[in-house]
Amino acid sequence: MNGKYTVLKIKNHECKEWFLYKHYAKRIPSTSFAFGLYKNSVLVGVCSFGRPMSPALTKGAFNGLYQDTFLELNRLVINEGEDRNALSFFVSQSLKQLPKPNVIVSYADTSQNHHGYIYQATNWIYTGLSAKRPDYHIKGLNLHSASITDSLGRTDKKEGIKQVTLLREKYGDDFYMEDRARKHRYFYLLGGKQVKKQMLKNLAYKVEAYPKGDNKRYDASYEASPQGVLFI
């Protein structure tokens, strides 16, 4: 990238404004590693990796293997107007700074007309669409499903009673469900040549051809507070 861009590890709190106001999900995810894309020492993008939201995926994707190090690329956002290849540079450089060996999963949201071109450009493995599942909603509130289940508290969530039953009891007729848009699922394998070869053998999903289509950007025009670095 001609030295214009640099990728550095950053503190989790440095991502907060980007995730809450610039990323379409408007929610802070589980974050184990965070990286910043800097242009001329100014932060122009952030991404984060954390524990996958789905325990079933972590356990089953590789037949029970790699569960301790399994990560999800769960947020990726940069300023509008950056160079054409800035996003792929950002992803590839972030991956290089993660511990190895490791398995990374990420998703392209079909509800946002995303097909995962950035994962295709950086050679991820495509394994089709995520499973069908419902989204939870509360009338009058703009909350993520995870935030709604979190409202039950740890004790209720551990009980054998189904979450849906508890949510209906808590919110009454204001609680309702809708089918969640399925997402394109991608994996990236980190490690030496032989390690990645073995990982691929253990992958429980069928490797499929990349989906095609024009990606549409969501509105990321919110301008986060300027942040820079002292040393690069």
For CA atoms 124, 219, 48, 73, give the dihedral sign.
Answer: negative
Residues 8 and 37 in one domain: yes
| Residue 2 confidence (pLDDT) | 55
| Residue 164 confidence (pLDDT) | 87
Residues 116 and 167 in one domain: no
Residues 185 and 175 in one domain: no
Residue 228 amino acid letter = G
Structure token pair of residue 192: 């030496």
- Token pair 């949510």 is at which residue? 167
Residues 140 and 126 in one domain: no
Residues 51 and 156 in one domain: no
Residues 36 and 97 in one domain: yes
Residues 117 and 140 in one domain: no
| Residue 29 confidence (pLDDT) | 86
Residue 6: how many other CB atoms lie within 10 Å: 16
Domain that holds residue 221: 1-130+181-232
Task: Encode 78-112: b = buried (16+ Cβ within 10 Å), e = exposed.
Answer: bbeebeeebbbbbbbbbbeebeeebbbbbbbbbee
State the pTM of this model: 0.79
From residue 53, alpha-carbon distances to 90, 151, 162, 215 in Å are: 23, 17, 18, 24
Residues 66 and 171 in one domain: no
Residues 3 and 59 in one domain: yes
What is the number of structural domains in the chain? 2
> Taking a C-beta distance cutoff of 8 angstroms, is the pair 232, 37 a contact?
no
From residue 154, alpha-carbon distances to 128, 144, 149, 176 in Å are: 33, 17, 10, 21
pLDDT in tens, the chain (232 residues): 557 999 999 999 999 998 888 777 778 888 999 999 999 899 999 999 999 988 889 999 999 999 998 999 999 999 989 998 999 999 999 999 999 999 999 999 888 788 999 999 999 999 999 888 888 999 988 777 777 888 887 555 445 568 888 899 999 999 999 888 889 999 999 999 999 999 999 999 999 999 987 655 545 555 666 665 533 3
Closest CA to 22 of 226, 227, 189, 219: 219
Residues 93 and 28 in one domain: yes
Residue 73 amino acid letter = L
Residues 70 and 160 in one domain: no
CA 88-117-3 angle, 5° bins: 15
Residues 118 and 138 in one domain: no
| Residue 231 confidence (pLDDT) | 38
| Residue 132 confidence (pLDDT) | 83
CATH code: domain of residue 118:
3.40.630.30
